[in-house]
């Protein structure tokens, strides 16, 4: 049970959107799909959702081919886009019932019950009689989530789902993602902001210019990101000071009195004590943790 | 075929204020003109004339209302394709349907059928109301055979044109271009028949078979031999089937392959 992206390539005319994209999202796993705007995240997700057709390759949803076995594959996947667009002049409850009608396993009574349960789950029950056009952007996303969960699919695609949400909305999506993960669902969560759900992701896949550039466990990324940079400022620097600092990592001289030690290894308190013992007048000694965004930009060679 | 979805699409499209208002407007216009003619002329044809041996008086009156309906209803058809397929596709709302367990071809066919139901029901209701006016107010006895052929002929003509608008809708990305081209195609189909007849009766005869708007006249030939030639019933049947099925098939093929769902 999983989402398997197999050698996916997509051209729009002569423009290549993605090339030879391969990865798997397993059940009970939240995978972050990270890349800058235009990297190919949405194209990959739309192909996986059965909206676009690939130029080459395919996607298997629980081993059903999204191209050749579209109906069976689509029963097992849900999609929440960045900007959900629905037919606007329909009531929330009616449109959910309509969408539920595409899943033949539901009787009319079951559709009513299922729709009510989903509106409760996504906190939009009070908007049941509202027309979709009158929903806020956040509630449209909740509605899209309700629509994507109609058949209780074991696989979910969230495409920039947190964009445009207020803190409460982001928290709601994080919490529900954890709940769905615990139910054993495979969740692919795309974003151009790595820090958004770093706390809930198990794995991160980095895409850049249409190609996968890294597939890392979140624990690996945290370990690599935890390599600190130490900023040291002293009033009386000399050559001996640089020799001491080099014992702790790679030293970058910022100005005459300020130094950065990248990939700092050791205890900052020990270094401080040693500098004081050697009669250096330490003005500042602070640890700087590398943000996860920097990790990504380092990967794509655009260190910021 | 998912009838739950078809019924829902049908209900939603039919109850759209713009669609409903358009249908009601054409209905009142057609019935109003019919009523006017029935009131003025029915007394003059109280006894059978030589002309009524060829065209039954009932049909002659019925055609007054039906010609108004047939002339204006294609604009509703163009708009129906616009609201059920072209505009949702352009806005992106069809993408949310495509994630559901349905293929692109099934989506096109489902939406086509829901609109076709509106066309069929509107045509039947209008024709029956017209027949009621002719019989009850004009006191002209209903001819059930003529009534049946009129309903079948107009439905087939309208469904053929509807199928053509789906082909245009799946081929054209811009909503305004779709509307403009569809109206243009309708006007061309409407006027070419008359123009061809001026130059070559043979070409006009052949064109009658390949013009979807002429299918109703061909089907009504047994009760309304206005065409001047006896149509080949087999060619009429084949032409009707081709006009309804081929454009919608091509439409689904185009939609299956597009990168613009």
Contacts B259 to A, Cβ<8 Å: 12, 52-53
The residue among A65, A71, A83, A101 with the most chain B CBs within 10 A of its CB, best to mutate, is A101
Nearest CB to A52: which of B91, B92, B261?
B261
How would you classify the pairing of strands A203-208 and A228-234? unpaired
How many pairs of residues across A and B have Cβ atoms under 8 Å apart?
Answer: 72
The residues facing A261 across adjacent strands are A230, A251
Question: ipTM of the assembly?
Answer: 0.86
| Number of domains composing chain B | 1
Distance between A211 CA and the closest CA of chain B, angstroms: 20
Largest CA-CA distance found in chain A, in angstroms, rounded: 83
Assess whether pLDDT exceeds 90 at residue B234: yes
Distances (CA, A) of A275 to A48, A59, B156: 57, 58, 95
Q: Which is higher by pLDDT, A56 or B1?
A: A56
**If you write DSSP's letter for every residue of B9-40 in order, what string do you get?**
HHHHHHT-HHHHHHHHHHHHHHHHHHHHHHHH
Instruction: Say if the Cβ atoms of A75 and B101 lie within 8 Å.
Output: yes
Please answer whether residues A75 and A151 qualify as being in contact, where contact means their C-beta atoms are separated by less than 8 angstroms.
yes
Q: Which domain holds residue B141?
A: 3-257
Give helix then strand counts, H and E, for chain B.
Answer: 12, 0
SS3 A266: coil
CB-based contact, B88 to chain A, within 8 Å: yes
Query: Which of A44-53, A290-299, B29-38, B119-128 is the least confident region?
Result: A290-299
Q: Taking all residues of chain A, what is their mean pLDDT, rounded to a whole number?
A: 89
Assess whether pLDDT exceeds 70 at residue B202: yes
Contacts A85 to B, Cβ<8 Å: 91-93, 95-96
Instruction: Say if the Cβ atoms of B102 and A85 lie within 8 Å.
Output: no
Contacts B16 to A, Cβ<8 Å: 89
Instruction: Say if the Cβ atoms of A104 and B261 lie within 8 Å.
Output: no
The residue among A15, A85, A108, A161 with the most chain B CBs within 10 A of its CB, best to mutate, is A85
For the segment A57-61, the average pLDDT, to the nearest whole number, is: 97
Contacts A89 to B, Cβ<8 Å: 16
For the segment A241-269, the average pLDDT, to the nearest whole number, is: 84
Distance between A116 CA and the closest CA of chain B, angstroms: 19
Distance between B143 CA and the closest CA of chain A, angstroms: 42
Label residue A293 by pLDDT band (50, 70, 90): low
Angle between helices B144-171 and B104-132 (to 10 degrees): 150
Query: Which of A191-195, A215-219, B33-37 is the least confident region?
Result: A191-195
Contacts A87 to B, Cβ<8 Å: 12, 88, 91, 93
Instruction: Say if the Cβ atoms of A51 and B261 lie within 8 Å.
Output: yes
pLDDT, position A36: 85
For the segment B7-19, the average pLDDT, to the nearest whole number, is: 92
Instruction: Map out the domains of chain A as residue ranges.
Output: 2-76+153-223, 87-143, 227-288
Q: Which is higher by pLDDT, B224 or B32?
A: B32
Distance CA A17, CA B56 (A): 66
pLDDT, position A257: 86
Please answer whether residues A127 and A135 qualify as being in contact, where contact means their C-beta atoms are separated by less than 8 angstroms.
yes
**If you write DSSP's letter for every residue of A36-50 in order, what string do you get?**
-TTSSHHHHHHHHTT
CATH class of A2-76+153-223: alpha beta
Instruction: Say if the Cβ atoms of B4 and A99 lie within 8 Å.
Output: no
Contacts A49 to B, Cβ<8 Å: 98-99
- DSSP-derived letter for residue A286 is E
CATH class of A227-288: alpha beta
CB-based contact, B261 to chain A, within 8 Å: yes
Share of chain A above pLDDT 90, in %: 60
Assess whether pLDDT exceeds 50 at residue A304: no
Contacts of B205 (CB under 8 A, 6+ apart): B227, B229
Element (H, E) at A113: helix A108-121
Query: Which of A165-169, A184-188, B179-183 is the least confident region?
Result: A165-169
For the segment A238-246, the average pLDDT, to the nearest whole number, is: 90
Label residue A196 by pLDDT band (50, 70, 90): low
């Amino acid at each position: 049970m999983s989402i398997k992206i197999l050698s996916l390539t997509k051209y729009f005319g002569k423009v290549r959107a993605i090339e030879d994209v391969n990865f798997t999202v397993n059940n009970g796993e939240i995978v972050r799909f990270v890349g800058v705007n235009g990297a190919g995240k949405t194209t990959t997700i739309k192909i996986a959702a059965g909206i676009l057709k690939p130029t080459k390759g395919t996607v298997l949803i629980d081993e059903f081919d999204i191209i050749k076995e579209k109906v069976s594959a689509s029963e097992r996947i849900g999609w929440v886009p960045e900007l959900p667009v629905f037919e606007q002049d329909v009531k929330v409850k009616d449109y959910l019932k309509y969408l539920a009608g595409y899943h033949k396993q539901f009787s009319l009574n079951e559709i009513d019950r299922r729709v009510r349960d989903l509106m409760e789950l996504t906190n939009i029950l009070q908007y049941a009689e509202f027309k979709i056009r009158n929903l806020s952007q956040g509630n449209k996303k909740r509605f899209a989530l309700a629509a994507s969960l109609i058949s209780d699919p074991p696989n979910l695609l969230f495409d920039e789902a947190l964009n445009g949400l207020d803190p409460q909305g982001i928290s709601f999506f994080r919490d529900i993602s954890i709940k769905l993960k615990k139910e054993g669902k495979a969740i692919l969560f795309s974003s151009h902001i790595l820090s958004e759900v770093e706390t809930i992701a198990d794995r991160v896949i980095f895409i850049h210019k249409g190609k996968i550039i890294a597939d890392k466990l979140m624990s690996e990324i945290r370990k690599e990101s935890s390599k600190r940079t130490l900023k040291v400022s002293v009033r009386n620097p000399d050559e001996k000071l640089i020799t001491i600092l080099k014992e702790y990592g790679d030293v970058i001289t910022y100005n005459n009195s300020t130094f950065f030690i990248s990939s700092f290894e050791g205890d900052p308190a020990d270094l401080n004590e040693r500098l004081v013992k050697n009669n250096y007048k330490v003005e500042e000694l602070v640890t700087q943790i590398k943000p996860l965004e920097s990790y990504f930009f380092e990967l794509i060679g655009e260190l910021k | 075929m998912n009838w739950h979805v078809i019924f829902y699409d049908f209900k939603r499209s039919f109850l759209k204020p713009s669609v409903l208002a358009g249908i009601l407007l054409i209905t009142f216009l057609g019935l109003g003109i019919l009523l006017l003619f029935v009131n003025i002329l029915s007394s003059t044809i109280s006894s059978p004339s030589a002309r009524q041996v060829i065209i039954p008086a009932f049909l002659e009156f019925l055609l007054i209302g039906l010609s108004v309906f047939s002339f204006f209803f294609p604009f509703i058809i163009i708009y129906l394709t616009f609201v059920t397929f072209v505009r949702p596709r352009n806005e992106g709302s069809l993408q949310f349907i495509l994630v559901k367990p349905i293929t692109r071809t099934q989506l096109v066919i489902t939406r086509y059928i829901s609109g076709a139901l509106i066309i069929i029901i509107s045509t039947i209701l209008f024709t029956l109301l017209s027949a009621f006016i002719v019989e009850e107010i004009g006191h002209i006895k209903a001819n059930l055979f003529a009534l049946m052929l009129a309903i079948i002929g107009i439905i087939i003509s309208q469904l053929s044109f509807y199928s053509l608008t789906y082909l245009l809708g799946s081929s054209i990305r811009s909503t305004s271009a779709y509307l403009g081209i569809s109206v243009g195609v309708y006007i061309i189909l409407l006027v070419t028949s008359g123009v061809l007849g001026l130059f070559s009766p043979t070409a006009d005869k052949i064109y009658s078979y390949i013009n979807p708007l002429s299918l109703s006249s061909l089907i009504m030939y047994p009760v309304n031999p206005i065409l001047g030639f006896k149509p080949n019933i087999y060619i009429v049947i084949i032409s009707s089937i081709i006009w309804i099925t081929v454009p919608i098939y091509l439409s689904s093929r185009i939609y299956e392959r597009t990168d613009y769902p």
